[in-house]
Structures are given as structure tokens and as C-alpha cells.
Amino acid sequence: MPLSPLLSDALASLRATRAVLAAYDPEDAQQRQLLAETMSRRLEKAGFRLLPRRGGQEDVYVFDHLKAPGFQVKVYTSIQGGRVRSKDADAIRVCLVYADEASRKGGEGRTIGISSECRVVRRGEIEAIVERTLERARDAYRRVSETERCRACGAPMATSKAGKLYCAERCWLR
């Protein structure tokens, strides 16, 4: 006897919920797709927006800081083609960046890394992986208040490859 459409939908929803709460298996293509869908949905619900994709790169979500212009939290999701990359390819990364004034005005500006959170390893339940990602994003958002500022212009100080602090707006060049 066939199931009614309503009951069929309810069963499909129950299976999806069980899959989200089950231990994530990176070898299972369906679970990689489910993690990608769950991650995208939760990031968008939290106010992140998907950046335009460049070539075959992963999906990157960004959240503009509400009280500090130029600061953004970026989440490198490892989602490509609607599913996360396979096992051991890489982890989810979260960082705090600063878009300089020229970049914010649509010109030839730069985006400078300010801090990087611990990577999010895709182990455990799908919901737990997504929650850890959002927690790292919240940590990055809070890190704005701890960022050292330039004495001359008030822009954040970034760290050079040599480990020295410099003004992210490069005010010394003006």
C-alpha cells in the first residue's frame, strides 16, 4: 500500500534529521552533500553572504562587522560543487580580515588578514561540525575589539610576514 504524500514527506524529513545527528562519514557522498547544505543554510541564517566564486574554488561566506567598518569574518567552507571536499582534503577555516578604505569604495584596494581561528575538523555529527564553525566565527567577530590600532589613523594593525605590525591602511604612504 503506497504512503500518503504527507507521510512520505514526514519520513523523508525524519531520515534527514537522523542523518544530521549521525556521525559524519567523509566517504559518503550523500553525507558530504548534507553537510554542505546544512552549513550553507546555517551560515545564511546567521547573516553570512556567499561571495562570488572564482573558478573552481570553494564556497566562501562573509559577514560584515556591524560596528567596525571594514572588518569581515570569512568562512572558507571546503564546499565545491554542492558538497564538501572528501576526507583529508582540508578543514573548514575561519578568519577575520580587514578591507581597506579603497577596497570598500570599490577601487583597487586590499583585504588584509587580521587573525585566524583554529581550523574546524570535519569529525563528529554534522550539526556539531556546523556549530563549531559558527562558534569559531563568533570568536573571530569578538576579536575585533582586541585588535591593536594605528596611532596615526586608527586603522587596525596587521602582522607582516616578518612578524612586525603595520597599519592596514598603509597611512605612512600618504
- Please state, in angstroms and rounded to a whole number, the distance separating the CA atoms of residues 23 and 35: 11
User: Is position 41 within any domain?
Assistant: yes
User: Is position 126 within any domain?
Assistant: yes
User: Is position 57 within any domain?
Assistant: yes
The predicted structure's pLDDT at residue 3 = 59
Give the residue from 54, 51, 56, 136 showing the smallest Cα distance to 91: 136
* Of residues 100 and 18, more confidently modeled: 100
User: Is position 51 within any domain?
Assistant: yes
User: Is position 33 within any domain?
Assistant: yes
Domain count, the chain: 1
Q: Is 4 buried (19+), middle (13-18) or exposed (0-12) by CB count in 10 A?
A: exposed
- Distances, alpha carbon 169 to alpha carbons 64, 147, 153, in Å: 18, 14, 8
- Please state, in angstroms and rounded to a whole number, the distance separating the CA atoms of residues 102 and 111: 10
Which of 13-17, 22-26, 114-118, 162-166 has the lowest average pLDDT?
13-17
**Chain CA centroid to CA 17, Å:** 23
User: Is position 163 within any domain?
Assistant: no
Domain encompassing residue 54: 26-148
Q: Is the pLDDT of residue 172 over 80?
A: no
pLDDT in tens, 1-55: 565 666 566 555 545 555 556 788 888 989 999 999 999 999 999 999 999 877 7
- Please state, in angstroms and rounded to a whole number, the distance separating the CA atoms of residues 49 and 40: 9
The predicted structure's pLDDT at residue 16 = 54
* Of residues 101 and 160, more confidently modeled: 160
- Please state, in angstroms and rounded to a whole number, the distance separating the CA atoms of residues 140 and 170: 23
pLDDT in tens, 131-160: 999 999 999 999 999 999 999 888 899 888
pTM given for the model: 0.81
User: Is position 93 within any domain?
Assistant: yes
User: Is position 154 within any domain?
Assistant: no
% the chain with pLDDT above 90: 40
Which of 30-34, 70-74, 166-170 has the lowest average pLDDT?
166-170
The predicted structure's pLDDT at residue 44 = 97
pLDDT band at 126 (very low <50, low <70, confident <90, very high): very high
Q: What is the mean pLDDT of residues 57-75?
A: 92
**Residues counted in the chain:** 174
Q: Is 17 buried (19+), middle (13-18) or exposed (0-12) by CB count in 10 A?
A: exposed
| Cell numbers standing for residue 14 | 525524519
